[in-house]
Chains A and B, each alone.
Chain A
Amino acid sequence: MSGVVDSIEDQSPVAGAPPPPETTANIMSLRDAPLYDGPVVALADFGAMSNTAAVRIDPGDDVRALLPHLAGLRLIEVSFPKYRDGRGYSSAQILREAGYAGELRAVGDVLIDQIVFLRRVGFDSFAPAAPLDPSTVVTTLARFPFVYMNAADHRTPIWTLRHG
């Protein structure tokens, strides 16, 4: 089934292993490429630092300000200070619609029960404030076998399955 992941790369700390770089601790990735772990600047500071490869979008930011610069970016973090604030879903969807193919990371109050929606709007890595159990993430992402509508993950909507 398209869009259903088989496994999650668990990058949470392992006992006895050397500590990972602080920026990628507790980050879960659904990407094939390695995680970006360089410095991240807020969108407001981005203009003056055009050589940066990573930007953070906060809920009140107009993500469209970033669209002319997508080609130079490797990571866009979208922050979720509260899971209830759903502006980050539109930010992510707009970035993917604009063709951004780099890492898109949901950061903050990222809960297991939001992860299906986050995945669908194009997030491919997650930095939850409270760690998520990787096996639960796999189960959760596989729970709903079909989707009704188009979104950034390009899963085939039911109406296409129905009519070929």
Chain B
Amino acid sequence: MYRYDQYDQALVDARVAEFRDQVARRLANEITEDQFKPLRLMNGLYLQLHAYMLRVAVPYGTLSGTQLRMLAHIARRYDRGYAHFTTRQNIQYNWMKLEETPDLLADLATVEMHAIQTSGNCIRNISSDQFAGAAADELADPRPYAELLRQWSSFHPEFSFLPRKFKIAVIASDTDRAAVQLHDIGLQLVRRDGELGFKVWVGGGMGRTPMIGHVVREFIPARQYLSYCEAILRVYNRFGRRDNIYKARIKILVHELGAEEFIRQVQAEWAEMEPRGLDAPQAEYDRIVAQFAAPDYDRAAPDSLDRSDPDFALWVDQNVHAHKQPGYAIATISLKPVGGIPGDASAAQMDLIADLAERYAHDEIRVTHSQNLVFAHVRKADLYAVWTALNDAGLATPNLDLVTDIIACPGLDYCALANARSIPVAQKIAQRFADLDRQHDIGEIKIKISGCINACGHHHAGHIGILGVDKKGEEAYQLSLGGSGAEDASLAKILGPGFSEAGVVDAVEKVIEAYRAVRSGPRERFLDTYRRLGDAPFKAAVYGAVA
């Protein structure tokens, strides 16, 4: 894992001091809320429906046990004993007191964490594959490149007042677990003629105008990717629209210029910028890569597993993935118990997970964009002990990628932007499909719920997407089918007229029952059935027999 040196620490400490000063000025009424707003937003502090919300960055979704324990402490000390993991691998606290936030940030800084650029029109937290460094199918660990991007983008003077927020994701395998094609910049580590570099997508995104990114470059050498990103950002900063907040993301610029013209402009800009020494020296790549060295694996770890406990075996089959190191496995901790709030964890749960990570998982925890947690390096021989402890804490729900593993934004329960509640819909769907045998029969299906058009719940990328809307003062829900945030990225298509909260739960059940009736066999996923047959059987099931 990356550890701060004196420079990283000095900058985070300086930021805490700066924010403490800004909060003091606000509390003394030396600055107005209007003047304070951009300052707090640069520090991840939003004013929500009931209280301030603080978003803490979890760079590329990687935490140590010490860091997770601090997040638990913050939940206890400054919040109501729990916190919420987000779809960009961050963590949010929903019940903040403004006057306490400087102390909170100071606490975070003691464990090399911060809330810098977790909001505002700047480059946000760099996200990555939650299986980075462990996946059997990856080229190399993508996180060193994400960390270098973190540093390059922190306090970037030219790109701190962009037309709109800017999100970058980095992966290193053909299986996309980070939705790179739905980011402003998506990067996939690839090798060409022996050299590492990146395939680059630009202009993906969700929001009210969802778009899949364009490949703007099949290969940029890793030694030049920072200057190349800098060129992309400069074209965006200069020419991205600023007249309409809903048309201000880079996807609109790429769309309006056309990908070909956008690429031409980026190339022209890069030709100017590349010679200016904007890229990091090789020694810096080497320094960071060394910090992500593989853990000290137990080479004698047995590769076999005792599956005699059927509940454990069920969890292994659903929540455990292959690891590149023999004798090891990747285990996903579901934060989606039936009836729970997707992505929420209590302080006690976080403490337990931190303890388990230190004892069994080389002191690493990952946050997934699906709002679950991961132990990336667990000896197979320890899986049963890990499962037992998780199970006792309500953290061993064997539902990864099943119908109850739902992504949901905070929605109208918390968010000032929301039109409708997301959490109760997720809870009701999960309750409807609580039976595990039924979930396993349905198989992989990704339901994603957003409480407004800003699409924080990724509904455009849901196999089944649900969007909360305001319909003449009532909460209503639109159903979409066929989205994917994976390597086969696609955007979900609206099925038809919307529903009430109860109605949308019924409609989801009708869609899923229709799928079970028409799928080619139990191995055909919902998404593949939808792609094979289109929406006709689902429309008929939900709205009755229309042409």
Contact = CB atoms under 8 A, between A and B. Distances in A.
Interface of A: 59, 83-87, 89-90, 93, 97, 111, 113-114, 116-121, 143-151, 158-163
Given A85-B161, A97-B273, A150-B276, 15 more contacts: A59-B242, A86-B158, A89-B160, A90-B158, A90-B234, A93-B158, A93-B234, A117-B155, A117-B158, A144-B155, A146-B11, A158-B8, A159-B283, A161-B7, A162-B5
Nearest to A147: B155
Contact of B237 (A89, A120, A145): A89
Given A86-B237, A87-B237, A150 B278 contact: yes
B64 to A, nearest CB: 22
B157 A117 contact: yes
B454 interface: no
B7 A162 contact: yes
A84 B155 contact: no
B277 interface: yes
Which of B39, B154, B157 is packed against the most chain A CB atoms within 10 Å?
A: B157
B284 interface: yes
Contacts of B242: 59, 85, 87
B161 A163 contact: no
Interface stretch (B14-22, B176-184, B439-447, B537-545): B14-22
26 contacts: A83-B38, A85-B161, A85-B242, A86-B121, A86-B159, A89-B160, A90-B158, A93-B158, A97-B273, A113-B22, A116-B155, A117-B155, A117-B160, A117-B161, A121-B157, A143-B14, A144-B14, A144-B18, A145-B11, A149-B151, A149-B156, A149-B278, A159-B151, A159-B280, A160-B281, A163-B284
A118 B339 CA distance: 50
Nearest to B233: A90
A163 B151 contact: no
Interface residues of B, number: 41
Interface in B273-292: 273, 276-278, 280-281, 283-284, 287
Contacts of B155: 116-117, 144, 147-148
B532 interface: no
Contacts of A116: 155, 157
Interface string B277-310: 1101101100100000000000000000000000
Contacts of A86: 121, 158-163, 237
Interface in B149-200: 151-152, 154-163
B238 interface: yes
Contacts of B39: 113
Contacts of A119: 157
A109 B14 CA distance: 25
User: Which secondary structure dominates chain A's binding surface?
Assistant: helix
A117 B8 CA distance: 18
Contacts of A111: 35
A143 B287 CA distance: 27
Contact of A84 (B5, B154, B161, B276): B161
A99 B230 CA distance: 19
B272 interface: yes
A86 B234 CA distance: 11
A123 B284 CA distance: 29
Contacts of B38: 83-84, 113
B533 interface: no
A121 B234 CA distance: 13
A59 B154 CA distance: 24
Contact of B17 (A143, A146, A149, A160): A143
A130 to B, nearest CB: 10
A121 B14 contact: no
Given A143-B14, A145-B10, A97 B278 contact: no
Contact of A89 (B154, B157, B283, B287): B157
Contacts of B10: 145-146
